[in-house]
């Protein structure tokens, strides 16, 4: 990224400090100074705590364009490592309230049922791996087409494949956007039908003999429909749920194959993207550093990197730990006491009585050799090219 060096401090150190801060669930280091925070400072290559405003100035030093490019590049690396597949991608929006003094547009808060000033995050998630692909902040009031196309562009650059299917809720279900996806991008999508009165009557008019039973309470019918600003017909999958009110719901899709049950199952997993913010409160994604979109976006990028770092670490753990939330992994494995001492060209990190020593020791032993096998030089430029070794006592 085009981050400018300030006051002789390499940008990599500031970036690592913010990433480490996010991993350990701290909102900021502005009020830091405790011994428990020294590990963050040390691991980031600082010899002492920077001034209070240092990280704010760092976050203001890059452009939206370069942050977008960095986020796409980072997610492509995750694809190459097999951590992201990108076969099915969820899209969603998240509102973060702003409680500062600056004037900013309002939107409805998802839980407080009132309108508040704030920022909306639009983001894409690998549905199968549950990994975030791309995030981007916008001021409120954006149209579905304007805020979604950057997500689509970024996702296609990340996964670099055409056999991709996008899943999103009815807020995105507008003809102009669906036209772009189908005709311009030539990708598949599944979304919900908006339950306006005319749409409900349309589903009610489907002959009963067109429905087939799925189970004791559900029946399914498949037909086609028109939507404003969309050229041609869309497939309409209708589910009749005997115990629900309203009993009918519809899915719109441009998928031509007869895989309706598969599409409904994929849509049922869309909740995973909504849970991303709920399950990762420790990242403080809603904690806005201001209202400058570039500043917000850079901090989001660092927090995304923090999430992926812990997620990748989780994949190296035994199966009994792989269903744990990322925050639990941090608490169980990474929030630990350690004694750090420099010896020659090495920095030794000694963990004292770690309760998962038997799991961690094989992972961190001979770390130099493991890095070299991956073609990575086992020295750390932000630590004056020292090597790191780990031991458990």
Question: What is the predicted pLDDT for the residue at 119?
Answer: 95
Averaged pLDDT, 51-70: 88
Half-sphere exposure of residue 340, counting CA atoms within 13 Å on the CB side?
Answer: 15
pLDDT digits (tens, 9 = 90+) for 143-195: 889 999 999 999 999 997 778 999 999 888 889 999 999 999 999 999 999 88
Question: What is the predicted pLDDT for the residue at 31?
Answer: 44
Question: What is the predicted pLDDT for the residue at 47?
Answer: 78
DSSP 383: G
Q: How confident is the model at residue 2 (pLDDT cuts 50, 70, 90)?
A: low
As a whole number of angstroms, the distance between CA 276 and CA 272 comes to 6
Averaged pLDDT, 92-112: 87
Averaged pLDDT, 39-65: 83
| Residue 66 reports pLDDT greater than 50 | yes
As a whole number of angstroms, the distance between CA 10 and CA 315 comes to 31
* E strand or H helix that includes residue 92: strand 88-97
Q: How confident is the model at residue 137 (pLDDT cuts 50, 70, 90)?
A: very high
Residue 173 three-state SS: coil
pLDDT digits (tens, 9 = 90+) for 317-351: 999 998 899 999 999 998 888 888 888 888 899 99
As a whole number of angstroms, the distance between CA 315 and CA 323 comes to 10
Handedness of CA 275, 278, 283, 289 (dihedral sign): positive
Angle, helix 293-314 to helix 64-80, in steps of 10 degrees: 10
| Residue 5 reports pLDDT greater than 60 | no
Question: What is the predicted pLDDT for the residue at 3?
Answer: 62
The distance of Cα 16 from the centroid of its chain, to the nearest Å, equals: 19
Q: What are phi and psi of 100, to 5 degrees?
A: -85, -170
* Residue listed under structure tokens 């919900």: 192
Residue 234 makes CB contacts below 8 A (sequence gap 6+) with 178, 224, 225, 226, 227, 252, 253, 254
Q: Are 303 and 280 in contact (CB under 8 A)?
A: no
Largest CA distance in the chain: 81
| Residue 29 reports pLDDT greater than 70 | no
Strands 88-97 vs 165-168: parallel, antiparallel or unpaired: parallel
Question: What is the predicted pLDDT for the residue at 33?
Answer: 46
Beta-strand runs (E) in 187-345: 188-192, 212-213, 218-225, 234-241, 248-253, 338-343
pLDDT digits (tens, 9 = 90+) for 30-43: 544 454 667 788 88
Averaged pLDDT, 86-101: 91
As a whole number of angstroms, the distance between CA 153 and CA 136 comes to 12
Residue 315 buriedness (CB in 10 A; 0-12 / 13-18 / 19+): exposed
Residue 222 has a CB neighbour count (10 Å cut-off) of: 15
Q: What percent of the chain is predicted at pLDDT more than 70?
A: 95
Question: What is the predicted pLDDT for the residue at 277?
Answer: 85
Question: What is the predicted pLDDT for the residue at 171?
Answer: 87
DSSP 205: T
Question: What is the predicted pLDDT for the residue at 50?
Answer: 77
Question: What is the predicted pLDDT for the residue at 303?
Answer: 94
């Amino acid at each position: 990224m085009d981050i400018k060096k300030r006051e002789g401090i390499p940008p990599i150190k500031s970036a690592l400090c913010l990433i480490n801060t996010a991993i350990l669930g701290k909102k900021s280091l502005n009020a830091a100074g405790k011994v428990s925070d020294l590990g963050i400072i040390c691991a980031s290559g600082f010899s002492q705590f920077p001034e209070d405003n240092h990280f704010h100035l760092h976050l203001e030093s890059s452009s939206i364009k370069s942050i977008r490019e960095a986020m796409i590049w980072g997610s492509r690396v995750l694809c190459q490592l097999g951590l992201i597949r990108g076969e099915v991608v969820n899209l969603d929006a998240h509102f973060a309230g702003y409680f500062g003094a600056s004037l900013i547009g309002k939107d409805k808060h998802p839980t407080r049922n009132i309108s508040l000033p704030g920022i909306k995050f639009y983001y894409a998630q690998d549905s199968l791996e549950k990994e975030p692909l791309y995030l981007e902040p916008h001021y409120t009031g954006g149209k579905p087409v304007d805020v979604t196309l950057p997500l689509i562009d970024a996702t296609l650059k990340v996964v670099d494949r055409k056999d991709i299917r996008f899943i999103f809720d009815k807020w995105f279900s507008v003809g102009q956007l669906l036209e772009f996806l189908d005709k311009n991008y030539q990708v598949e999508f599944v979304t919900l039908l908006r339950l306006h009165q005319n749409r409900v009557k349309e589903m009610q008019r489907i002959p009963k003999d067109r429905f087939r039973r799925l189970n004791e309470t559900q029946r399914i019918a498949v037909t086609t429909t028109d939507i404003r600003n969309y050229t041609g017909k869309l497939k309409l999958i209708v589910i009749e749920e005997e115990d629900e009110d309203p009993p009918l719901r519809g899915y719109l899709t441009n998928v031509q194959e007869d895989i309706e049950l598969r599409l409904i199952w994929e849509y049922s997993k869309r909740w995973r993207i909504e849970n991303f913010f709920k399950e990762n409160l420790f990242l403080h994604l809603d904690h806005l550093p201001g209202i400058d979109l570039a500043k917000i976006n850079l901090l989001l990028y660092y927090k995304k990197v923090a999430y992926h770092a812990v997620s990748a670490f989780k994949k190296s753990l035994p199966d009994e730990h792989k269903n744990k939330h990322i925050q639990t992994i941090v608490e169980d494995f990474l929030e630990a006491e350690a004694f750090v001492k420099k010896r020659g060209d090495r920095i030794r990190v000694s963990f004292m009585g770690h309760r998962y020593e038997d799991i961690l020791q094989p992972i961190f032993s001979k770390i130099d050799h493991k890095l070299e096998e991956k073609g990575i030089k086992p020295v750390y430029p932000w630590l004056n090219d020292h090597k790191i070794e780990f031991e458990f006592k």
